[in-house]
Amino acid sequence: MVDEIRAHGGTAELLEIDLASLASVARAAAEFKGTHPRLDVLVNNAGIIAGKRKLSPDGHELTWATNFLGLAALTRALVPALEAADAPRVVNVSSAAHESGRMAWDDLELERGYRSWRAYAQSKLAVNLWTRAFAKRHPKIDTNAMHPGAIATNIWSVLPGFAQALVARVLPPASKGAIPVIRLATSDDVAGVSGHYFNKLKDAPHAPAARNDDDAERLWTYVETTLG
């Protein structure tokens, strides 16, 4: 991708990061801030569906760590660079799956009753809740969650081979899924919009569970306590 951007006359750098690893997140954020005084746009777009319950390098459930904790850790670490920009934006790629998510407050990392879709939906609900809490605390940074649509990406690797082949034939490519992301990151028509949820190009309501202010504050406290 970097070579492709450069081949078309653009400027690009590759900064490797594993959002499942808090140490990797910290190193990448420090490296970025060491060479760049400001950050205009941050798009958080890492996501997995794990077929079995696995642990991250830090001992967190892998879906929770990758889809949510790493996102929160990276965004928090880059706040100074974002706030140094004139009109910074954060785009958190969520999913319509957040509509079926429920926060298992007594077992957020699903040590009991783990199911891959349950873990995924909860992680995306957490993204929406935390997006609202972050936007409230950082009014200078336009921060929104969004669902790009069902897209043919590697996230479907959890499926059997025949199902993966069907997905690749039926679902649109990543280039189409990128369109609503780019719009939120760059378009003037969404300037000043923050704390919202977009379903593709439409400003849509958060699911009822994602509009729960008490849960948003509870999740914020959890993140601050867990990440320090």
Residues marked as catalytic = 120
**Rounded Cα distance, 190 and 144, in Å:** 10
Bridge-based pairing state of the strands 197-199 and 142-147: parallel
Backbone angles phi, psi at 48, to 5 degrees: -140, 160
- Reported in sequence order, the residue ranges of 53-138 that DSSP labels E, i.e. its strands, are 89-93
Q: 204 with 153: CB under 8 angstroms?
A: no
**Rounded Cα distance, 125 and 114, in Å:** 16
β-pair partners for 90? 42, 143
